[in-house]
Amino acid sequence: MRIGIVGFPTPGGSGVVAAELAAGLAARGHAVHLLTTGTPHRELRAPSLRVHVVDAAPHPVLGHPDVALALASRIVDVARQEGLEIVNVHYAAPHALSAFLAARALGPSPPRVVVSLHGTDVTRLGADPSYRSALSFLICTADAVTVPSQFLADQARSVFEIEGSVDVIPNFVDVERFRPAEKRDIEFWRTLFPGMEPEAPLLVHVSNFRPIKRTLDLVEVLARVRRRLPARMILVGDGPERKRTEARAWELGIADAVRFLGTTSDLASIVRQADLFVVTSESESFCLAALEALACGVPVIGYRVGGLPELVTEEVGRLVPPFSVEALAGAAIELLQSPARAEMARKARARAEAQYRPGPALDRYESLFRRVLVEQEGR
Ligand code: GMT
């Protein structure tokens, strides 16, 4: 197939899924074009993948960028040159608008449009009356819609009044890149926490520090865990709530036990060193970062929200009532002290390998794309 995939270049989950999907399908021999507004965050192992970086700088005439228009124009150009049959956009805004415009511009036999929803495009933008009507139109007129969890399928159906099918295709993980540590690298940890006790528990969090991640809760949890255990925490990523979270760590007197690493491309080597992965999100459609932790053999704790219960079962972690930092700290203390954690770590890895390898997810995107092409022929 000749496929265009549109996604953000940022480290967020939807951009990672778009880029890994594009690379995976290119490696299977499809002609794949990734259209994005910056260099993809992760290294993509697929020499045949064509990446088209669309200029999203402010336009001198407008004084601001019009990303939707710039992407739409590039989709039209690539579709004309390469004969794209499918355009699969990841995250509804503005990508679904760009794909819709491009399809209209491409005349009587345009590429089929598949919209992959990822989370806040439904739960936040879809819930916002300023955006809902237009998004609902774009999603309902697409040839197919995908979501990463049953939770988001239900939300999307109700928010956008989708009558057709919604395909649940869970996030997937490269289990070679995200694999368990052979042993704890105490030297690595001591570069971050000089003098750290060799057996001190290690907690890790990865996010974009948006308000929806409730990152202040992370340091509240750590402060409570540290009343019982000499735990340390590493926070990977960057975003609007980082400064407030750092300030709260100082107020709580635990700044020496927390390190903020910012955005790093070598995520796996950090995550695999942890004893627990902590998510404090108010909502998650899936939580790719938690899946990457499971693949590293790291159990996950978090609030019972959104699609997290579909991923984090009792065998591989603990979910507690939202938004109790006491309960989350209690779960962390219980697991860190439990001899059963090693078995949980093994099951975490086994779950990622058995259910979330890239292969089955790529199969499902492939068969969905084939299905919409066949439906088109039948029209
Ligand atoms: O979590 C974020 O804020 C980033 C966001 C995105 O759009 O890139 O992630 C969303 O998509 C991921 C890939 O499908 C999911 O794993 C995340 O759970 C989802 N985030 C939310 O629902 C908040």
Pocket flag, ligand 1, residue 93 (CB < 6 Å): no
Q: Is the pLDDT of residue 8 over 90?
A: yes
Ligand 1 centroid–CA 148 distance in Å is 9
| Residue 133 lies in domain | 2-172+357-377
pLDDT in tens, 185-231: 988 889 999 999 989 999 999 999 999 999 999 999 999 999 999 99
Ligand 1 centroid–CA 10 distance in Å is 11
Q: Is the pLDDT of residue 180 over 90?
A: yes
Q: Is the pLDDT of residue 47 over 90?
A: no
Geometric angle at alpha carbon 134, from 129 and 139, rounded to 5°: 115
Pocket flag, ligand 1, residue 20 (CB < 6 Å): no
* Residue 193 near residue 222 (C-beta atoms within 8 A): no
Ligand 1 centroid–CA 250 distance in Å is 29
> How many domains does the chain contain in total?
2
Pocket flag, ligand 1, residue 241 (CB < 6 Å): no
Pocket flag, ligand 1, residue 302 (CB < 6 Å): no
85 inside domain: yes
Q: Is the pLDDT of residue 378 over 70?
A: no
Ligand 1 centroid–CA 231 distance in Å is 28
253 inside domain: yes
Considering the domain architecture, whether residues 293 and 328 belong to the same structural domain is answered as: yes
Q: Give the span between the Cα atoms of 195 and 315, in whole angstroms.
A: 33
Considering the domain architecture, whether residues 26 and 69 belong to the same structural domain is answered as: yes
pLDDT in tens, 237-246: 999 999 999 9
Average pLDDT over residues 309-335: 98
Average pLDDT over residues 346-374: 98
Q: Nearest Cα to 84, choosing from 93, 74, 69, 94?
A: 74
Pocket flag, ligand 1, residue 237 (CB < 6 Å): no
Considering the domain architecture, whether residues 363 and 337 belong to the same structural domain is answered as: no
Q: Nearest Cα to 38, choosing from 64, 13, 63, 19?
A: 19
Pocket flag, ligand 1, residue 213 (CB < 6 Å): no
pLDDT band at 376 (very low <50, low <70, confident <90, very high): confident
281 inside domain: yes
95-105 and 67-82 helices, crossing angle to 10°: 50
Considering the domain architecture, whether residues 66 and 23 belong to the same structural domain is answered as: yes
pTM: 0.97
Return the CATH number at 154.
3.40.50.2000
Considering the domain architecture, whether residues 74 and 44 belong to the same structural domain is answered as: yes
177 inside domain: no
User: Quick one: which atom of ligand 1 is closest to the CA of 283?
Assistant: 23
* DSSP state at residue 27: H
Considering the domain architecture, whether residues 231 and 275 belong to the same structural domain is answered as: yes
HEC per residue, 52-75: EECCCCCCCCCCCCCHHHHHHHHH
Q: Identify the residue whose C-alpha is closest to ligand 1 atom 18.
A: 287
Pocket flag, ligand 1, residue 117 (CB < 6 Å): no
Considering the domain architecture, whether residues 217 and 294 belong to the same structural domain is answered as: yes
Q: What share of the chain is helix, strand, coil (3-state, %, to 5)?
A: 45, 15, 40
Pocket flag, ligand 1, residue 149 (CB < 6 Å): no
Q: Give the span between the Cα atoms of 233 and 260, in whole angstroms.
A: 9
* DSSP state at residue 325: H
Considering the domain architecture, whether residues 229 and 148 belong to the same structural domain is answered as: no
The confidence score (pLDDT) of residue 379 equals: 67
Ligand 1 centroid–CA 79 distance in Å is 28
Pocket flag, ligand 1, residue 126 (CB < 6 Å): no
Following DSSP, what letter does each residue of 135-202 receive, concatenated?
HHHHHHTSSEEEESSHHHHHHHHHHHT--S--EE------TTTS---SS--HHHHHHHSTT--TT--E
181 inside domain: no
Q: Is the pLDDT of residue 97 over 70?
A: yes
Considering the domain architecture, whether residues 153 and 193 belong to the same structural domain is answered as: no
Ligand 1 centroid–CA 267 distance in Å is 17
| Average per-residue pLDDT for the chain | 96
For the chain, the first-to-last Cα distance in angstroms comes to 19
Q: Is 354 exposed, middle or buried (0-12, 13-18, 19+ CB in 10 A)?
A: exposed
Q: Is the pLDDT of residue 17 over 90?
A: yes
Torsion 151-154-157-158 (CA) sign: negative
Enter the tokens of residue 341. Answer: 């954690």
Pocket flag, ligand 1, residue 91 (CB < 6 Å): yes
* DSSP state at residue 296: T
245 inside domain: yes
Count each helix (H run) and each strand (E run) in the chain, helices first. 15, 13
Pocket flag, ligand 1, residue 215 (CB < 6 Å): no
User: Quick one: which atom of ligand 1 is closest to the CA of 289?
Assistant: 16
346 inside domain: yes
User: Quick one: which atom of ligand 1 is closest to the CA of 307?
Assistant: 18
Considering the domain architecture, whether residues 147 and 261 belong to the same structural domain is answered as: no
Average pLDDT over residues 166-186: 96
